[in-house]
């Protein structure tokens, strides 16, 4: 599976220093800067969601996860030479990327849904402890740009205006926030094989506001070898108009409106 379209950018707790420590620049961020990494919308997060935090003084340097740092099919909770830890509900999250202004991390898969807290600690300097709501699912598609969803055809080519999908095609969509799987994921686990989402019966794909027949959702689960990333294999219905709006929903959670899938009627 080819996922470089959106991943090209992508222990013992440290004792936090007091906020007034002399000469220490504390990590600074707000609740509105904690977002789902797929659509950059702030709000509730789900277990095993790839999230992003924006702020200042988050790290002294920039580092991205390397394959060699994945041990035993588990992502690390700290990238080398960064001293940065992310806590969700008191649990250390695994980390994809850190810089002085951004952190990409994975919400622990085993965290129970609840109202809890979020905090970044950098070399013992603690940022603010913020409230965060963990819900079972918080689905969001990854986006190619501000209005188009990331999708591929079965040959692995990215769907664009120059390479559109057609009614009847099977397309592969990428998302995060689809919650636990069967069998369940462990915290920071890099899935080696496909695992279907636990709540598949609740999954809805809407095209122009109309739910696609469940039989057209051929697979919804983990994208093997990528923590927090889910793929949905969808057979497009026929007939289908040009560039339909596409949304994903589970339970009472829906992805944002206005996102399109590039489709052209069959010739």
Q: Which among 108, 86, 113, 109 is positioned nearest to 97, based on CA atoms? A: 86
Region 53-81 average pLDDT: 96
Report the percentage of the chain scoring pLDDT > 70: 91
Q: Is 31 helix (H, G, I), strand (E, B) or coil?
A: helix
> What is the Cα–Cα distance from 178 to 199, expressed in whole angstroms?
8
Q: Which residues on neighbouring strands pair with residue 211, listed in sequence order?
A: 206
pLDDT digits (tens, 9 = 90+) for 133-151: 999 999 999 999 999 999 9
Does the reported pTM lie above 0.85? Answer: yes
Q: Residue 108's domain spans which residues?
A: 11-134
Residues 107 and 177 in one domain: no
Q: Which residues are CB-neighbours of 11 under 8 A, at least 6 positions away?
A: 77, 78, 92
* 134, 152, 184 - which closes a domain: 134
The single residue listed with the structure tokens 């999230």 is 51
The reply to whether 260 falls in a domain is no
Is the domain of 104 the same as that of 152? no
**4 lies in some domain:** no
pLDDT for position 267: 66
Residues 174, 108: one domain? no
Q: How big is the CA angle at 192 (ends 189 and 193), to the nearest 5 degrees? A: 120
Instruction: Show which of 134, 155, 176 is a domain's final residue.
Output: 134
Residue 48 lies in a domain: yes
Q: What is the pLDDT of residue 266?
A: 78
Of 92, 113, 134, which closes a domain? 134
Give the range among 4-13, 24-33, 136-145, 179-188 with minimum mean pLDDT. Answer: 4-13
Residue 213 domain flag: yes
Average pLDDT for the chain: 91
Question: Same domain, yes or no, for 97 and 186?
Answer: no
Give the pLDDT of residue 24: 76
- Residue 228 domain-assigned (yes or no): yes
**φ and ψ of 151, to 5 deg:** -155, 155
149 and 127 in one domain? no
Mean pLDDT across 3-27: 47
Give me the number of domains the chain comprises: 2
* Together in a domain, 92 and 157: no
Q: Are residues 19 and 65 in the same domain?
A: yes
């Amino acid at each position: 599976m080819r996922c470089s379209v959106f991943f090209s950018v992508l222990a013992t707790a440290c004792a936090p220093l007091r906020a007034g420590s002399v000469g220490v620049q504390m990590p600074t961020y707000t609740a509105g800067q904690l977002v789902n990494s797929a659509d950059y919308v702030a709000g509730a997060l789900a277990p095993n969601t790839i999230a992003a935090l924006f702020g200042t003084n988050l790290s002294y340097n920039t580092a991205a996860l390397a394959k060699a740092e994945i041990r035993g099919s588990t992502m690390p909770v700290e990238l080398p030479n960064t001293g940065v830890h992310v806590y969700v509900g008191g649990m250390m999250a695994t980390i994809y990327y850190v810089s002085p202004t951004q952190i990409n991390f994975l919400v622990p898969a085993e965290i129970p849904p609840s109202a809890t807290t979020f905090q970044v600690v950098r070399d013992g300097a603690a940022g603010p402890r913020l409230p965060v709501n963990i819900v079972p699912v918080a689905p969001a598609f990854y986006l190619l740009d501000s209005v188009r969803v990331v999708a591929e055809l079965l040959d692995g080519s990215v769907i664009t205006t120059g390479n559109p999908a057609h009614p009847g095609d099977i397309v592969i969509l990428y998302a995060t926030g689809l919650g636990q799987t069967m069998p369940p994921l462990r915290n920071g686990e890099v899935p080696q094989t496909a695992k279907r989402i636990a709540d598949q019966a609740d999954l809805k794909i809407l095209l122009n506001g109309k739910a696609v027949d469940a039989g057209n959702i051929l697979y919804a689960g983990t994208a093997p070898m990528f923590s927090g990333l889910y793929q949905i294999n969808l057979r497009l219905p026929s007939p289908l108009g040009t560039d339909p709006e596409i949304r994903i929903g589970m339970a009472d959670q829906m992805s944002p409106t206005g996102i399109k899938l590039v489709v052209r009627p069959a010739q």
